[in-house]
Amino acid sequence: MTKLGPNPNPGRSIVAGFAGVVDGLRQLETNAGLRPYRVFAVVVKWSGGEVGRGDPTVESEVELLPTPLVRLKGIRFENKPGGKTDRGYVEVSEVSTRYTEEQLLTAFHVKQPLGEGREAFYEIVRDARDGQPGLRRRFVLRQVPDHDAENFQWILRLSAQDKSRGKDGQVSRPQRVYKR
């Protein structure tokens, strides 16, 4: 009879052992052109010691590989005097289980916590299938990452944010307000 209790070695479970195989199969989907959206975890450091103050520098940018499945169905445009803004939520599924929850929560930043003057976010960018990379869309985690072990995946639920980087990867600086 099997002794009941938690898995004595979850890192060596059958599911954990298949992570590389599943990642390889998902890479085939990317190579076939079925994954048009790339996902990056980005950390930006501001020279002024707080977010929005001073000059921004991209401190870390890590692409989630193999390319996850992205569904932008929950994103809508909000028209503003200065142009359109993304609003809504997106689900990123089939994220490799080789990533840890801590990595996903902190956008892969090595130093924990992020520290003053740093901000972390996710970017979703359409690949360059038409010769040009797509717009960068900025998101933050809306919920705790969901480890769906039965389907060999993490699921990230993200909320759209303003201040997306430009196509060239430059961080947009806040506009200066001058008082009279």
Whether 123 maps to a domain, the answer reads yes
Question: Average pLDDT for residues 119-129, to the nearest whole number?
Answer: 91
Domains identified in the chain, total number: 1
Confidence band for 41, pLDDT divided at 50, 70 and 90? very high
**pTM (2 decimals)?**
0.83
Q: Is residue 115 part of a domain?
A: yes
Is residue 115's pLDDT more than 90?
no
Tell me whether residue 83 is in a domain: yes
- What does the block give as tokens for 44? 């930006």
Examine residue 90 and state whether it is found in any structural domain, yes or no.
Answer: yes
Query: pLDDT grade, residue 166 (50/70/90)?
Result: confident
The domain in which residue 150 lies consists of 12-160
126-148 pLDDT tens trace = 998 878 778 899 999 999 999 99
